[in-house]
Amino acid sequence: MSSIRRVVVTGIGAITPLGKTAPAYWEGLRSGTSGAAPITRFNAEKFKTRFACEVKDYNMTDYFDRKQGPKMDMFTQFGVIASDEAIADAGLLAEGGNIDKDRVGVIWGSGIGGLRSLQEECFQFERGDGTPRYSPFFIPRMIADSASGNISIKNGFRGPNFVTTSACASSNDAIIAAFNNIRLGLADVVVTGGSEAAITESGVGGFNALKAMSERNDDPASASRPYDKDRDGFVLGEGAGAIILEEYEHAKARGAKIYCEMIGGGMSSDAYHITAPDPSGSGVVLVMRNALRDAGIQPEDVDYINTHGTSTPLGDGAEIKAIETVFGEAAKKLNISSTKSMTGHLLGGAGGVEAVACILAMQHNIVPPTINLHTPDPEINQELNFTPNVAQEREVNVAMSNTFGFGGHNTSVIFRKLAE
């Protein structure tokens, strides 16, 4: 693999339930804050779940003008906001930067796309007399690829451009596709990550029907509790995470700040059930092995795993069993945490914000915690270090981030501190 081009991270951005910039997000993670609260985006009075992890105090007009903003669904707005932060952080458009925009791609992830826009247009048609009065912006607002389209239009990036959709694995698939495009020489820089904004009637109602979401309405902040015996489902989140992946020599030549190197990506499928995880965890074993092989490292080289860990009864246990299988004795030396305990589950945006969490964990040598872990589940091996409730200081040289999606999609990405 040595002849393949190396890929580094040169910028990050995030808009999350814990804060609307990457530094604010990190402060929330480090301090173990829950982003969950009663739903404000619609009247959830009659819903089984009446809370979620919303991006707090979000005003479209803080970021977009009155004409452009409403032409984008909220998931696209989040994507543009997070990618703007990452692009500025990387200095990609700095004056005199002289970037060849034909060699800059945008590969984004979204599991659902513009659910809110779809829902609003359908509601409106239903309320009318049958005369079709659909907005000409309805389709471009709804389609999932409008996120990567808008990010490229705003910045003039003319390289590879598409959106990956694999439910909650979407962002990691985007990051892996970005990594491969750079490794193969198809682009020098790719803006990647993902976003979601599905806290709507149809989003909450749909996930409730699947019995996938926590219904702990009396205490939202403690509802997302991966690995805890009393977990009862995931908490829906929203937002976006963006990273700038860049070919190593390209980044060095322009004197870019380098956070870390991306060294591997793995993908696999459960081939088992459309929504349930395979309890044997075999697809998850396969994906982590694929990622480690791609990275050319051994299990004992990994310091931290940011797990998928959504706080569902079945999924959490299967992933941990898979970690024990892949890592053996080394599993006990790992730090493991599910930051979904704080952010909720951003679905197709999860891999984006969790990659940012891994990158910042390496930068600060601090592992963000799994909060709400008070009653360990006896079915889950508690000899492992789940980084319960409080962040832990630790030299993090290598971090792995797992995300899995409905459909049986498994993805795993690996970052490492830059070694010359």
* Number of chain positions touching other proteins (CB under 8 A): 10
Nearest approach in angstroms of CB 146 to other proteins is 13
Q: Which two tokens stand for residue 213?
A: 């979401």
- Per-position x/- string for 263-292, each x denoting binding to other proteins as judged by CB under 8 A, each - no binding: ------------------------------
Tell me how far apart the alpha carbons of residues 277 and 407 are, in angstroms, rounded to a whole number: 9
Per-residue tokens: 235: 């908490």
Give the residue numbers annotated as catalytic, written as ranges.
168, 308, 345
- b vs e for 361-383, b when ≥16 Cβ sit within 10 Å of the residue's Cβ? bbeeebbbbbbbbeeebeebbee
CA distance 143 to 140: 6
Task: Tell me which stretch binds other proteins (CB under 8 A): 25-33, 63-71, 185-193, 325-333.
Answer: 63-71
For the chain, the distance separating the N- and C-terminal CA atoms, rounded to the nearest angstrom, is 17
How many whole angstroms separate alpha carbon 214 and alpha carbon 222? 10
Q: Which of 33, 119, 135, 222 binds other proteins (CB under 8 A)?
A: 135
CA–CA dist 157, 151 (Å, integer): 8
- Binding to other proteins in span 105-134, by CB under 8 A: 131, 133-134
Does residue 395 touch other proteins according to CB under 8 A?
no
What is the token pair recorded at 113? 């796309």
Tell which one of 67, 96, 271, 383 touches other proteins (CB under 8 A).
67
Assign 219 to helix, strand or coil: coil
Strands 409-416 and 335-337: unpaired
Of the two residues 76 and 403, which places its CB atom closer to other proteins in the complex? Answer: 76
In the list 45, 57, 65, 126, the residue contacting other proteins (rule: CB under 8 A) is 65
Is 412:169 a contact under the CB 8 Å cutoff?
A: no
Give the integer Cα–Cα distance in Å for 403 and 350. Answer: 7
Q: Which residue lies nearer to other proteins by CB, 46 or 133?
A: 133
Q: Which of residues 137-166 bind other proteins (CB under 8 A)?
A: 137
Task: Give the one residue of 46, 66, 98, 393 binding other proteins; rule: CB under 8 A.
Answer: 66
Q: Candidates 21, 33, 68, 280: give the one binding other proteins (CB under 8 A).
A: 68
Q: Which stretch binds other proteins (CB under 8 A): 65-73, 174-182, 347-355, 369-377?
A: 65-73
Name the residues that contact other proteins, by CB under 8 A: 65-68, 131, 133-137
